[in-house]
A and B are shown apart, each in its own frame.
Chain A
């Protein structure tokens, strides 16, 4: 069917019409094809979902929903996230002779000072830190994956050059409180949420 219809299209006649014989009357130009780019029956159809009109006053506003998946790599920090699933906290340390300022948590693969590749160190459980500061999160943003309200805490771990942000799963936070690292080894989220802290006093 499709081929027959295509064969009947007046392409050749059109070409002839452009080059009429000198003594003959010009052949009447055929009507232009309705779809020049997409031949029949390739009529372009709307395949989407109509956008809902949310309002028309003071202007037309539509809803434009979307679902997107990102493919995010943990790169050279993969051992850190693998470690959480195994119940261990891994940090990095620079072995450069002028760079010994403790280990980095969050870890970094490359030293920001001497640019050497850092080495992994595994902290011995139980990892005990101290709450440096905290907040009680009562209004988190869209998509929060832990129940709220909860205490978000900043933890100083002896020997670390940095301060680790995390959350307290029970108890009431206060500055100076000792806390112990714990891990979501079963039902892991494969995110930083697999590390959490418990009171250690």
Chain B
């Protein structure tokens, strides 16, 4: 049983507000031989400086940066130790300080958290937060083996050398306890891949059906091929500032709150505990889990790290009822099951009612709080170190009312050698108060919960 002491549950407090003003990205591809990694990061950096309607010239903006935080999942993939230094030099940012962050699939989120801390503490006024991954130097099976070394090398990796095999048992247990049909997971794959059709950055857009997903090739039962993300190459970045710098650069900066959580790398080692309650939950609310299902929390069905991150981030941002207070969420759908599990962890629904978020229509564009309009990891990208930053970028552009600018202009599609679909549909959300993104590492070992607030709509 994990027992918290008071210091463990202290809610993080930024010493001064942190803002995100601009973002940039490449498109994402399974293989990207056209460019070296540093050339791709320059592509994203230039988009950040030149295409975000900033009030200063790009080089003047660059002249404000005094810290960089870089996210990269695995040295295995880049085959380049100190890749951060190489990228930093290539962007022409030496001799400014930089740090590298590595927290698996949550690397992007934790890189953002590191950058935010730099601003909040006063160490920096303007921080470049950038992530990348180049997963195409090895074939897919070798890539899967590399990723599986992010499971315990002594007790887990050799058992499958495949990360889907660590999520699949969660999917089975989740369905067993909560009696969730496979169609729900399939609907998530269909939804996110469909939204990717509106994105020029997307790697795997597609108009699929639930039947197609369920009839797809089995990877690790019950997870089918369309329920799993794929190897990806690309880079994304955001620019974080203090309040004064933010308004010097932009009329629409978005305020950032972000918190993290963790859990054991081996799911095997997850011990029982009481559910840490979100602001809208009541003591005793989850007693039924133990009584009816003899299923203590968190078991294999819930991500304590996501719950812990949301527990903190909601209190930082003053969120009481997530479904009412949020207008968009971008979740970590590396697998359909990780998306589904997260609905309960972050309180979009109470634990045990996760599927209702999909069946009610709330999760769809036009619903109460849509999810993964970016196309998510299934449809758009999972160049791992970039992912938690790309999700933040999509949240930023949505709140800034710039979804169409970055996704709908012909030139953006042409830049990446694509044709804008004739039936392209805008996914710009109408209400633009708050957007949340979850950055999540293997089997929920590290998670961040980032929340962007529109200062015009939400008081600080």
Contact = CB atoms under 8 A, between A and B. Distances in A.
Interface in A131-171: 132-145, 152, 154, 161-167
A20 B271 CA distance: 86
B267 A163 contact: yes
Contacts of B169: 133-135, 152, 154
A193 interface: yes
Contacts of A192: 154-156, 158-159
A101 B271 contact: yes
B266 A106 contact: yes
Interface in A113-133: 132-133
A83 to B, nearest CB: 14
Interface stretch (A31-39, A42-50, A55-63, A86-94): A55-63
A172 to B, nearest CB: 11
A133 B161 contact: no
Q: Which of A61, A135, A165, A166 has the most CB of B within 10 A?
A: A135
Q: Is the interface of B mostly helix, strand, loop or mixed?
A: mixed
A137 B170 contact: no
A77 B153 CA distance: 13
B34 interface: yes
Given A133-B172, A134-B172, A135-B169, A142 B33 contact: no
A175 interface: yes
Contacts of A58: 33-34
Contacts of B142: 141-142
Contacts of A163: 267-268, 270, 300
Given A135-B220, A137-B162, A165-B268, A106 B172 contact: no
Interface residues of B, number: 46
Contacts, number: 127
A148 to B, nearest CB: 9
Interface in B267-300: 267-271, 300
B271 A133 contact: no
Nearest to A54: B33
Given A59-B33, A74-B154, A135-B220, A141 B172 contact: no
Interface string B102-114: 0000000000000
A106 B165 contact: no
Contacts of A137: 160, 162, 165, 168, 220-221
Nearest to B221: A136
Nearest to A176: B176
Interface in B419-434: none
B431 to A, nearest CB: 39
A123 to B, nearest CB: 16
Contacts of B172: 133-135, 175
Interface size range on A against B:
35 or more
A152 B271 CA distance: 21
Contacts of A165: 155-156, 159, 266-268
Nearest to A61: B33
A188 interface: no
Nearest to B172: A133
A191 B153 CA distance: 10
A145 B145 CA distance: 12
Interface string B221-256: 111000000000000000000000000000000000
B10 interface: no
A167 B79 CA distance: 32
A4 B1 CA distance: 80
Contact of B144 (A74, A136, A141, A166): A141
Q: Which of B139, B147, B269 has the most CB of A within 10 A?
A: B269
Interface string B336-363: 0000000000000000000000000000
Interface of A: 55, 58-59, 61, 64, 72, 74, 77, 101, 104-106, 132-145, 152, 154, 161-167, 175, 191-193
Closest 6 CB pairs of A and B: A141-B161, A135-B168, A141-B144, A136-B221, A141-B145, A142-B141
8 contacts: A64-B137, A135-B220, A139-B164, A139-B217, A141-B148, A142-B141, A162-B269, A165-B156
Given A106-B152, A137-B160, A143-B145, 6 more contacts: A55-B33, A101-B271, A140-B162, A141-B148, A144-B161, A165-B266
